[in-house]
Every structure is written in structure tokens, then in C-alpha cells.
Structure 1
Amino acid sequence: MADRTQYLLELVHRSLKPYIANPKTRAVMITGSVAEGRCDEFSDCDVMLYYDELPTTAELDQARQQNRGAELVEILGDRQMGAFGETFRLNGVECQFAHTAIAQWEAEMSTVLEKFQVQPGIMKMLHGTLIGIPLHGEALIQRWKDNIANYPEQLAQAVIEHHLKFFPLWGVQDKLSRRDATLWYYQILVESAQNILGVLSGLNRLYFSTFQFKRMGKFIQQMDIAPPNLAVRLEGLFYQEPSVAALQLEALVQDTVVLVERHMPQIDTSAAKRQVGWRQRPWHIPEV
């Protein structure tokens, strides 16, 4: 992986030269698998570029032309909103360049870090900034990193309360088994697993987003507060018979609630606790 990471880093450095030459460019960093050193032959390059004023379409076209062989794939987003994405392929590698106005990015950061709103997209970008490697404007990026690393207590509580919601799959398993509800069953399973991770991310002061969530095992390894064997137990939910998986999910939810009560007792866990142990009972037509 080291050779692939080094190759992609060098590719990014070369492709960035015409962008950094633009005086509007204040800061640039690479994030994602390249920044973490976890590349393979399918990895792309996630690059964040920050400006006082966004570059024009003509300036972007010129930058791509200077990267000979760059093949534009798509432009995503609306520059009027202060940010947009540019995707192109270079030497067969997909490069995803996100262009963002500094004022827009700092306002987005404040919605999470100061207003304590749980915004999945922004949470993902906060994590990306923490792991990112600065390539230009290091002082500005370091200032953001320092701010993000100071995970507010109020945010932790907001994240936990946002995810502390579980549909009691274990209580309706008999009903689901009769209703051809395979898709719904797996939807509940996925959402429940994501909410467990979300609650634990708040307890451990980690930035978590369900969007394109990958490398679960590595994420869980960062947790000091977690149920035992969490990664194995979460993975196992998707390989067990539904009746077994439902009971294992119930146990995981119970373990998670206990951890919330132990480490953040100010949070109301009563709704989640009521679900644990609950079973829907069938009704019967009264005998005449």
C-alpha cells in the first residue's frame, strides 16, 4: 500500500500545481485513504481546496488543460452556495477536487462545533480535515484542525441523543417472519448498527457520518468506550439467521445504553431502555 500511496501523493502534487498557482487559492489538503496511507488500486484522490473567492469556470478549465490527459467526469454542486466539486480522471485515477469558499466552510464548521447541530455531511468533512495532509496554506489548515480536535461536550450529548433511537426488531421478529419483509428487516439492521456506532462516537468524541461509511474496524479501534468485541458482533448481525441476529442486536443495544448511563448520566435513556426486553404479543379473537 505504501507504493500506491506514494504514487497517488506524487500524482496529486503534480496535478495541483496549476491550481495553487492561482492567487485565489489559500489552502489545499488531501484527505481520505491517501492521507491515511490505506490506498489500493481502486482508490481515488480526495482533495480539498479553499479560497477567499471561488475560481471561475474558465480558471478551472485552464488548470485542467495544464494537467495534460485530465478527463473531466462531472461538476457537482452550485457555486452560488459557496462550494462545488470537480471530478476528473488522470492516468486512470479519479481525482475528486472540492472547491470551497473559506467563509462557507467556517460557517459550516460552526453549525456543528458551536451550534451543536448533527449534520452528517459536515461531520464527515470535519473528520476528513483532522486526518488531512496540508499541501498548501498549512497554518490555516492547522488552525482548523486545532478547532476540530477540541470536541465540545455539548456536541457529544447532541450526537448521542440524535442516534439513541432503536426500532425493537427483536420484539417483532415473529411478525416479520410472516410478512415477506426482507428489505425492511435489513434496513432496520443497517440503521440500528449505524445508530450504535453513532452513540458510541459521541461517547468517544469521534466524528461519525453514515455517508459512505467504510473501514468500520479501524473506526472502532479508536474507541476507548465500547461494548466488548463490537466489530465482530456488528459484522455478525448480517450473517446470522434473523431470529438470532435480532437477539444479538438487542444485546448490543442494551450494552450501549449501559455505557451511556455510565459515562453521560445526564442523557435520558428511558425510551431506549423501554425497547429492550419488549415483545409484541399476538391478539386473539374472543371465544363466543
Structure 2
Amino acid sequence: MNIHTQWRLKLAHNLSKPLSRFPGVRAIVAAGSAARNYADGYSDLELIFYWDKEPADQLKNDISTLLNADHRYPEAHFAYHSALVIDGFPVDIWHKTTSVEEESIASVIDNCSTDLDASNIVDTMRFCIPLYGSEFIQPWKERIESYPPELTERFFKEYLPHFHLRHIYFESKRDNPIAFYNMLSNIHCSLFIILLALNKSHFPTYKWIYKRLGELPLKPENIEIRLRNMYKAKPQIAVEQLCDLLAETLTLIETHHPDFDTSSARQELMQPMPKTFDPE
């Protein structure tokens, strides 16, 4: 556990002690970068309250008053009650109902939804650290340990078509770096989703793409440095490097999911570099 995480989790435990006494709160957890041990010097602290029903604004005000917290946004802002500052340090307190959390978990685990917001909720639940009400949180944690095979295949079907490189080939030839790097980033993000599904890992947001990739056992060799180097290489070289990385990912899928058809994605990667069309 790094020092940034340790400091934030100590603060989380200290804050949760008086907060657990509010009527109606079922559980309080530390979430976000601190719970995942991804925190750095720029990270805030994220706490999630679970309630049977949505707490009134006055109750949320009572919580911020107890913490002697300032608000980071004006009262009309949607995050007014959530985005706080305590002794100069940003603390986000999110209020969620148990029914909404149940629905999100069910959509992913039972219905195999590929919605990334729901996937992030499940990932948050997997890594969250209970500060109060651990007996309430534990059944959710146990439930999400099972990653449905159908969910992996749904992510493959949805994101493998993004391995289409025809347009980024063209942009690598044109003098439009904004379009090129936008396409490159989008394909990197789709590759990340594919690798998460391959490793039965839920979505932690793109903010932590490199940290999560470092934890995945099934991935192309040296993937982090190879992804980073594509932003330093000349565009045409970057596309060649990207093609190699995607091809290695398809090989991993074919090795670990031999019944899944990757022929279409493989064929796309084997397409020759498009030629220019000039008048004679």
C-alpha cells in the first residue's frame, strides 16, 4: 500500500466514526483511488454512503456541518452536497440507495450488461473498503466474485469491431494530428475493454488504464510502454505498432477462448495499407 493510499484511508476511518451514527445509513465505504491503492499526490478521498432511501438535503447538510466541511461548488450545482473540502483537502461523499446499487449489480452479474457505468459500479464495489456496515457490504462483494462467461463474450462482440484500422491508416498520412490521436486513443480504450473482459475484470474508468493493465495477468508483453510509445512515434509507425498489439491480443483471445470467432477482426488487421487515389 503506497503512502498516498495509507494517508487517505486513515482519514477515511477517522471521518467515518461520527458519520456512522446518522440514522438510516446502512454502510459507509472508502472507494476510488484510495480503495484500489492507485492514489497519488493529486488524489482526493471518495466515500460512499448506502441508504435504504435517498437522504434529504438537510441530512446531507448535517453531515457536511459535522465534518466542518466547505462546499466546492455553488448550491445549484448537482455535486454541491458531494464535493466537499475538509481542512483544505477534497473529499467526495456520494449518497446511494441500496436499491439502485442492487439494480446496477444485477444488470452486470445477472443480465451481462456491457454498460461501462454499471461495470464501474461493480468494480468500485469489488475494491471498496468498508468503514461501517461491513456485514451489509459483504454479500454484494461475494456476489460479484463470479464473472459471467457471457459477459466476456458480449464485450468481445461489442469492442472487437473497433479493431478496424482503415480510417486511422488514412489519418496517419494526413496532416491532422487531432484526428489521428483521437482515433488512436479510442482504439486504445477499446483494447483496454477487451483485455478487461479477457481477464474477468470490471471497468475502473480510463483514468486508471495503465495501473489496471499492470495488474492484469493476460495481456501482450510490455503493453504499457508500447501504448505510450505510440504517442511518440511517427503516425505511420504508430499504426504498425498498433496493428501488432491488436494481433497479439487476438491471439490471446483465441488461446483462452478457442470457441469465440475472431476471424472478422483478424481479417481486418490483415488488410493492406490503403493506397492513395490520384487522378491520372
TM-score, normalised relative to structure 2: 0.89
Q: CA contact under 8 A between 1:196 and 1:253: conserved in structure 2?
A: yes
Please say if 1:71 is aligned against 2:70.
yes
Unaligned runs of 5+ in 1: 79-83
Q: Tell whether the 8 Å contact from 2:164 to 2:269 is kept in structure 1 after alignment.
A: yes
For 1:149, what is the secondary structure of its paired residue? coil
CA deviation profile, 1:152-172 (whole Å, cap 9, x unmatched): 111111122222123544675
CA 1:106–1:40: 2 relative to 1, 3 Å: same
What is the CA distance between 1:13 and its match in structure 2?
3.0
- The aligned residue for residue 143 of structure 1 is 139
Q: Which residue of 1 aligns with 2:232?
A: 239
Residue 255 of structure 1 pairs with residue 248 of structure 2:
yes
Q: Report deviation, 1:146.
A: 1.0
Provide Cα deviations, 1:174-201, integer angstroms capped at 9, x if missing partner: x435543211111111111111121111
* Aligned-partner Cα distance in 1 for 2:237–2:92: 42
CA contact (8 A) 1:30 1:48 kept: yes
Instruction: Report the count of equivalent residues.
Output: 277
- Equivalent residue, structure 1, for 2:186: 191
Answering whether residue 44 of structure 2 is matched by residue 44 of structure 1, we say yes
After TM superposition, the structure 1 = structure 2 runs for residues 40-119 of structure 1, keeping only pairs within 5 Å, are 40-68=40-68, 70-74=69-73, 86-119=82-115
Q: CA deviation at 1:19?
A: 3.2
Identity %: 25
Q: CA deviation at 1:127?
A: 1.4
User: Aligned partners of 2:256, 2:2: CA distance in 1, in Å?
Assistant: 39
Distance of aligned partners of 1:139 and 1:228 in 2 relative to their CA distance in 1, 3 Å threshold? same
Q: Which of 273, 278, 286 is residue 266 of structure 2 equivalent to?
A: 273
Pair 1:224–1:184, CA change in 2 (3 A) = same
Question: How far apart, in 2, do the equivalents of 1:178 and 1:199 lie?
Answer: 27
Paired residue secondary structure (1:42): coil
Name the CA distance, whole Å, in 1 between partners of 2:3 and 2:248.
Answer: 41
Q: Which amino acid aligns with 1:207?
A: H
For 1:5 and 1:178, the matched residues in 2 are separated by 44
1:171-186 maps to which residues of 2 (within 5 A)?
Answer: 173=169, 175-177=170-172, 179-186=174-181
State the alpha-carbon separation in 2 of the partners of residues 2 and 281 from structure 1.
50
Structure 2 SS opposite 1:281: coil
The residue type paired with residue 233 of structure 1 is R
Write the distance in 2 (CA, Å) between the matches of 1:222 and 1:234.
Answer: 16
**Aligned partner letter, 2:178:** L
* C-alpha distance in 2 between matches for 1:111 and 1:194: 22
Q: What whole-Å deviation, never above 9, does each CA across 1:213-248 have from its counterpart, x for those lacking one?
A: 2251x3223322221221221121111111110000
Q: What is the CA–CA distance in structure 1 between the aligned matches of 2:63 and 2:137, rounded to whole Å?
A: 23
What 5-or-longer segments of structure 2 have no aligned partner? none
- When residues 14 and 237 of structure 1 are mapped into structure 2, their CA distance, relative to the original with a 3 A threshold, is same
What is the SS of the residue equivalent to 1:166? helix
Matched with 1:226 is 219
Q: Distance in 1 between matches of 2:43 and 2:108?
A: 29
Tell me the SS of whatever aligns to 2:162.
coil
Worse-superposed segment, 265-274 or 183-192: 265-274
> Residue 17 of structure 1: CA displacement?
4.0
Q: CA deviation at 1:284?
A: 4.8
Distance 2:184 2:61 in 1: 45
